[in-house]
Structure 1
Amino acid sequence: MDNTSQSDIRISLEDKEPSWYSRTTRWFSLRSLSATKANLFGCSLGFISTGYQYNVISLLNVIWSIEYTQYYTQSVETRVNNALLYGVLVGQLLFGIIADYFGRKVSLLITSTLIILGAILATAAMGANNSIQGLFWALTIGRGLSGVGSGGEYPCCMPTNSEDGDALSVEKRGRRIALLGPCIEMVAENVVTIVQIILLHIFGTQSSQLEPTWRISIGLVIIPASIVFVFRLCMKNSRLYERDKSIRRRFPLIVVIRSFGWRLVGTCLTWFLMDSIYFSFLTFGADILANVTGSSLMHIAYYQLVNMAWIPMAYLAAFLIDRVGRKNILMFGFFTYAVTLFLIGGLYPLLYGKPAAYLVLYIFQGMFQILLVIPIYLIPSEVYPTVIRSTCYGISAAFGKVGGIVGVQFFLPIANAFSSSQSGYRADFLVAGGIAVVGLLVTYCCIPDWTKISLEKEDDLFWKSVDEYETKHNRPKSHCAETSE
């Protein structure tokens, strides 16, 4: 066949309008998947795993206290709850460095593998000779391993979303990052509650019927994690990362400290303060509901569905983040969060036994809390140059998990320090309100507003400052991607 005939056939095929089915299957086909689409799915869907694992433990605390009443003591509960947070802390620090030096794609493939392995271990947890203590140690190890993988998601996914978003539109970068990260995580946190309610209806709520519910609850995260792994095989490092890698060389640490030290203090402290509150109420929220309502396990599960009222606020914050500004939303969030926590703490004795009144205030508390989550997740992905973006993001997020560990560690001791659980939980809310006030002050003093500022231009300014420092101190330029002391 001659060239003219081949051309005519090709044109006629291209002119033919593809069906809706063919367009859809082509868009999702891994063989034709572009790096942009792979990055979008590989990063955004990873937050399903993290959000699911964070909230799965809340109702499981109540389930385990019913099924293993004499074994699930305060120390065991704290250990199991903290296992994920300790793992997340390690993962954020470790993969922040790996992502900057070896690339986001390699790091994300490893994190997916760790999440899957940890979930398998926790789902199949067994103690030697059917020991209940051994069962909870196996759960602790499994959740800790998953935590390392989940922690690595943050310094890999958020900077990638930020860098890809900057290439598409600087003006709409914040909205893209928020929608592809914390908003998805927020939805996943509520999906797990629906899953657990369905499982409780299927298997029952008696102590002898609860084991399938908690094992399946933990194990279901394997499905989204496996799907994400496939997408990540098709990912590529962002254009901004590859551009920076081509010009990367040794740079003096003093330049980083002078330029970004104060920002790092701000991003670390705000995340620390938020997570110290957030993970405390996320972990023990079902316990508080049980205290206020005195309800059955199934009623507590349904009460937790009120968290779904928070989701619209997450999307509202995402669409306002570029118009109002990151810093303004964060300050407003800390202020309203503090007011709501003080209000619940002050009125807690009056709310006792009145679940409807408590749930109204609880919904507002969660909604204002979301105004913190969106900018706190977003800001560290923007305010640092590409060469150290994942590392600084990992450090900031790790400080957050330290705050979460501290909050979870001291939440029950504070509550138990009082003569009644009613007074103890009231104290927890009042302390949390004070922490939110400190967060407001830290935001005002330490957080820059990076709304609509190009990441690429900031990279150029960073390397320019490195050049100026080396010229001033007569230091030779090196093309090794390392940090000099």
Structure 2
Amino acid sequence: MTSTRDVDNAVAPGDEVTGSNDVVLVQDEKKSSGKVGEQVDILEAEPQKAYYSSASVWLMVLFSGLAIGSDGYNAAVIGNVELLLAVLYPDDLTTAIYQRLSNAFLIGMIVGMILFGVVSDQLGRKTGAIATTILLVLGISLSTAANGTTTAGMFWMLIIARGIAGVGAGGEYPVSGAGAAEATDEDAKFRKRRGFMFAMLADLSASLGAASTWFLYNWISIPFGIFSSTIISRANVENSLVKTLGWGVVINCFYIPGPFIGGYLSDKIGRRQTMALGFTLQAILGFVLGGAMDPIQRIFPLFVVLYGIFLTLGEVGPGSTVVLIASESFPTSIRGQMMGLISAASKAGAAIGTQVFTAILNRYTADPSKGNQVAFLIGSGFAVLGAIIALFVIPDTSRHLNDDDDAWKKYLEDNGWDAFWGDEVSQDPSGVVMNKAVS
């Protein structure tokens, strides 16, 4: 809006005055010579708004958690589906098809993590979130509608559809992880609770430590989740298919309390300490299960509970901290790309673990109890390795993401790069505060 007033009430050229209604007075130097009676232009700026609020931060973390949680469900559900397919198509579900069904989603996730790590940094978190959701919904819809003129054709449609869904699911890790980390950095009260908030939802030493521990976590967690119903069926061969599926659901319920416990501990004792603690306790229990498999399996409810606690401990440690550590270890401008690379490497662990589990279970078809024993012993060995890496490789990171951003900018400037990025549209206006509109 423009209006006129006597220049007696105006300010000198270039000065700005902001009042309670955010009116900015700017003198037009071309039309006014500063004499009394001449006119100046008065520009009324729109009131600035608070861009962040407690609700927006919690919603960002909530939806990020839901996205990654749905990915976990879609990765694990194939284990139960394969049990049903084995009953319906015993002759057509070969070992090769079985492995492809198990790994299609995981391979797709690797592609999605690398691709959308770049997309989220170059085009923005929102663009990445929309694209990944579309791909995930498309893949799941095609999986549901899988059919063919032959059984082999149906299996291949299911494999390809799960691969498409995997690309969308994998892309959600760098998008959701980076977005949630940045949302919780806006205020001190969120920074000190970031570990718990992430749990409700995941330099060289940083990338090596984050990638290797995430790799080991997925090597253990995902195969033990996917094959939970298979392990249960081998532990109690007298159960019907329905009971086996039911026990598998009970086992997977033990995943739920782990992230809450781990999220609380990560804010109290530290990220890498929590990860090491979880890995260590999981290894101890796994060695107990592996060493005394026969007597424990004879008391079937005890086996179910101990198996469930084994999964819980995995979530207490690495499950609640891997995404957090990977997010906090890198500056904002490359966070999405590094998250994508690290999470892609981690899903390679899941794919390899799934292949190894399949080979182990097939190797001991004549002695199912022995197969379960070997699986727990190998998984526990990897948990020990994860604890060692967590303690001696992963660095302690700052709770303030701006610290890494400032160090990154300084590094670029010292090496001759232009360290300015962003534009007037994407940058926050001056004076933005949490939960308050600028008056």
Q: Which residue of 2 aligns with 1:147?
A: 166
CA RMSD of aligned residues (A): 2.0
- Return the offset for 1:104: 0.6
Instruction: Give the drift of 1:417.
Output: 3.0
Mapped contact 2:218–2:349 kept (Cα < 8 A): yes
Deviation digits for residues 419-438 of structure 1, max 9, x if unmatched? Answer: 52222221111111111111
Equivalent residue, structure 2, for 1:444: 391
- Residue among 55, 64, 80 paired with 1:43: 64
Query: Helix, strand or coil: the match of 2:106?
Result: helix
Larger C-alpha radius of gyration, 1 or 2?
2
Alpha-carbon spacing, 1:355–1:319, altered in 2? closer, same or farther (3 Å): same
For residue 296 of structure 1, report the CA deviation from its aligned partner. 0.8
The equivalent position to 1:310 in structure 2, one of 250, 255, 271, is: 255
Q: Evaluate the alpha carbon distance shift between residue 408 and residue 267 of structure 1 in structure 2; reply closer, same or farther with a 3 A threshold.
A: same
Contact persistence 1:90–1:151 (CA under 8 A)? yes
Aligned to 2:359: 413
* One of 372, 384, 389 as aligned partner of 2:330: 384
Structure 1 distance, partners of 2:61, 2:367, is 49
Task: State whether residues 293 and 354 of structure 1, in contact with CA within 8 Å, keep that contact through their aligned partners in structure 2.
Answer: no
Whichever residue aligns with residue 443 of structure 1, its letter is: A
Contact 1:90 1:398 in 2 (8 A): yes
Who is 1:280 aligned against? 223
Aligned to 2:210: 267
Distance 1:444 1:320 in 2: 16
Q: Where does structure 2 lack aligned partners over 5 or more consecutive residues?
A: 1-54, 423-439
Q: How does 1:162-241 map to 2 (within 5 A)?
A: 162-168=181-187, 169-179=190-200, 181=201
**Superposition TM-score, scaled by structure 1 size:** 0.71
- CA distance 1:120–1:351, change in 2 (3 Å): same
399, 411, 436: which one aligns with 1:453: 399
Pair 1:36–1:321, CA change in 2 (3 A):
closer
CA contact (8 A) 2:276 2:391 kept: yes
* Residue among 377, 401, 426 paired with 2:373: 426
Seen in structure 2, the aligned counterparts of structure 1 residues 71 and 167 have a Cα distance that, compared at 3 Å, is: same
- Residues 334, 172 of structure 1: alpha-carbon distance in 2 compared, 3 angstrom cutoff: same
Query: How far apart are 1:480 and its partner, in Å?
Result: 7.8
Partners of 1:377 and 1:37 in 2: how far apart?
Answer: 17
Q: What's 1:329 paired with?
A: 274
1:363 aligned onto 2:308: yes
Q: Report the alpha carbon displacement of residue 36 of structure 1 after superposing the two structures with TM.
A: 5.0
Q: 8 Å contact 1:268–1:399 — kept in the other structure?
A: yes
- Tell me, in whole angstroms, the C-alpha distance in 1 between the residues paired with 2:207 and 2:221: 21
Q: Does 261-270 or 297-306 show the bigger shift?
A: 297-306
- Alpha-carbon distance between aligned partners in 1 of 2:62 and 2:353, rounded to the nearest angstrom: 33
Map of 1:347 onto structure 2: 292
- Counterpart Cα distance in 1 of 2:209 and 2:102: 27
Identify the residue that residue 82 of structure 1 maps to in structure 2. Answer: 103
* From 233, 239, 245, the counterpart of 1:301: 245
Give per-residue Cα distances to partners, 1:192-231, cap 9 Å, x unaligned: xxxxxxxxxxxxxxxxxxxxxxxxxxxxxxxxxxxxxxxx
Mapped partners of 2:341, 2:362: distance in 1: 32
Post-superposition offset of 1:316: 1.9
Residues 338 and 437 of structure 1 are in contact (CA less than 8 Å); yes or no, is this contact kept in structure 2?
Answer: yes
Cα distance per residue 1:233-260 (max 9 Å; x no partner): xxxxxxxxxxxxxxxxxxxxxxxxxxx0
**Aligned match of 2:321:** 375
Superposition deviation, residue 416 in structure 1: 2.9
Q: Distance in 2 between matches of 1:100 and 1:76?
A: 36
Show the counterpart of 1:67.
88
For 2:264 and 2:199, the matched residues in 1 are separated by 9
Distance change >3 Å, CA 344–CA 175, structure 1 → 2:
same
Percent identity, aligned pairs only, is 30
Deviation of 1:47 (Å): 2.7
- Cα 1:126/1:329, change in 2 over 3 Å: same
1:398 aligns with one of 344, 353, 363? 344
Letter aligned with residue 163 of structure 2: G
Partner Cα separation in structure 2 for residue 38 and residue 351 of structure 1: 43
CA deviations 1:367-399 (Å, max 9, x no partner) are 111122001121101111111111111111111
Q: Name the amino acid aligned to 1:389.
A: R
Tell me the alpha carbon deviations over residues 142-196 of structure 1, each in whole angstroms, 9 at most, x when there is no partner. 11000000000010001111111010332222222222x26xxxxxxxxxxxxxx
Instruction: Name the SS of the counterpart of 1:449 in structure 2.
Output: coil
Question: Letter of the aligned partner of 2:177 in structure 1?
Answer: M
Q: What is the CA distance between 1:38 and its match in structure 2?
A: 6.1
2: distance between equivalents of 1:146 and 1:139?
Answer: 10
Aligned to 2:152: 133
Q: Provide the C-alpha distance between the structure 2 equivalents of 1:102 and 1:355, rounded to a whole number of angstroms.
A: 52
> Residues 67 and 83 of structure 1: is their aligned pair in 2 closer, same or farther, counting only changes over 3 Å?
same
Residues in 1 aligned to 2:387 and 2:66: alpha-carbon distance in whole angstroms: 31
Match of 2:382 in 1: 435
- Mapped contact 1:292–1:354 kept (Cα < 8 A): no
Counterpart CA distance in 2 for 1:331 and 1:42 is 28
Contact 1:272–1:404 (8 Å) recurs in 2:
yes
> Residue 180 of structure 2 corresponds to which residue in structure 1?
161
Residue range with higher mean Cα deviation, 58-67 or 330-339? 58-67
SS at match of 2:186: helix
1:27 alignment partner in structure 2: none
CA distance in 2, matches of 1:279, 1:67: 25
The answer for the alignment partner of 1:292 in structure 2 is 235
Whichever residue aligns with residue 270 of structure 2, its letter is G
Local SS of the residue matching 2:191: coil
Report the alpha carbon displacement of residue 43 of structure 1 after superposing the two structures with TM: 2.7
Distance 1:262 1:363 in 2: 32
Please state whether the residue corresponding to 2:256 is helix, strand or coil.
helix
Q: How big is each residue's C-alpha offset from its partner over 1:316-371, in whole Å with a ceiling of 9 and x where there is no partner? A: 22222211111110000111111111111111122344321211211220111112
Query: Aligned partner of 1:291: which letter?
Result: R
Give yes or no for contact 1:415–1:427 (8 Å, CA) kept in 2: no
